[in-house]
Structure 1
Amino acid sequence: MSAYLGRDPLPPTDLIATATEERTRRREASLAAVKAGQITAEKADWDDIIWSNIVHFMRVLGGDRREPRHWHQDDKDLMARSVRATKQRMLIAYDNSAPGMTRQRIDAMTHVWYAIEFTLLYTKVHPIPVDRRGAAA
């Protein structure tokens, strides 16, 4: 059990689903904002790249062996900041009784942040699967 979360972290499949849903939601919102002239296409693309990395990071925790499998600490910090900011906006939406905003979504986003920010602690509970084909005898 994680001392930080007070319970075991979510399994990688749930982390992947949570990150993918958020990336899809953000992409749709960004495209609408670009069409409305509220943000630039470059900013929308940048946000999608960050969330693409977050989704891939969750897949790596689930055993995906596609590259990249490691990120520079600055990139991990950027991903963690984006997830934390998203979680904060989710809390505000929850407090304002926004439709579709549930405590479960907020908790799942907390686990995504935890997996990025505290990867070593997360993998103590959910070890990353080893590719046996390349493992030493």
Structure 2
Amino acid sequence: MNVNDRVRVRLTPHGLTILAEYYDHIRDQLPASMRGLLKPTGADADGLHTFLLWELLAIFGASSGHGFPDVFEDGALHLVPWNAPTPAGTTVRDTTTGATATYVAHASHVAGRGPAQPAALLHVDGHHFTVDAEHFARHFVAVVP
């Protein structure tokens, strides 16, 4: 297990409150022109939220423990393989910057004169760009509207 692995959790009402407060706090620290770029994670069709493990600990760690209200239903964390496929058209968020993009497809990226490397093709504001596949797997999570 790695702190950059993705985990899925079903949040309790208290957990949803903690998540909303976290995003409000982060958004308040951004310049007004950037506040719209920060998109909170939402539940998927199964009712689960996806986070990187370190992100989950940063958001919920201080609100978890003996004597605290539960933030996850049944206390369950569902691990997601780091190389699990992302469906085309999924809106993704970079957990290091908060920026969002649309996942287009698996691609190849050539840096300099080196060999082609696996990559993710993303789309933002009318532009396509590639991100190293491992970086994508470790730092991007799906955003559910």
TM-score of the pair, normalised by structure 2: 0.26
Q: Which has the higher helix share?
A: 1
Q: Which has the higher strand share?
A: 2
TM-score of the pair, normalised by structure 1: 0.27
